[in-house]
Amino acid sequence: MIGKLNHVAIAVPDLEKATAVYRDMLGARVSNPVDQPDHGVTVVFVELPNTKIELLRPLGEGSPIAGFLKRNPDGGMHHVCYEVDDILVARDRMKATGARILGDGEPKTGAHGKPVLFLHPKDFTGTLVELEQV
């Protein structure tokens, strides 16, 4: 059911510093920062030949990333994102197998402008999983 790895998301306390590491030290191509108010984050994408790294910083007091950074002040891996052909089929299959969908269970528009869902990390070996329809 899952397709390619779309991206690995890393929460960072300083987005400009993290962007510089990937751009200046590692020579990667990086996007400009984009606010995603529906998700409470500002994102930068690091483009790699086979996938992307998503750098996340909190946007606003209620950001889920703010809570993550309180527990992990230096930042760290936040989630992995896998591609799926049909987000509703994937959701229904996940629910049928006992996986918990975070939020209200309805897809939201993600940073790429495509429908996404997040799956509870306790159901996936401690890793928050994002599914993105391609």
> Can you give the three-state secondary structure of 62-120, one letter per residue?
CCHHHHHHHHCCCCEEEEEEEEECCHHHHHHHHHHCCCCECCCCCCEECCCCCEEEEEC
Confidence of residue 4 (pLDDT cuts 50, 70, 90): very high
Catalytic residue numbers?
Answer: 130
The pLDDT value recorded for residue 23 is 97
CATH architecture of 5-133: Roll (3.10)
DSSP at 60 = S
Q: What is the pTM of this model?
A: 0.94
Average pLDDT over residues 49-77: 94
Decide if pLDDT at 1 tops 90: no
* pLDDT, tens only, 17-30: 999 999 999 999 99
104-115 residue pLDDT tens: 999 999 999 999
> For residue 38, what pLDDT is reported?
87
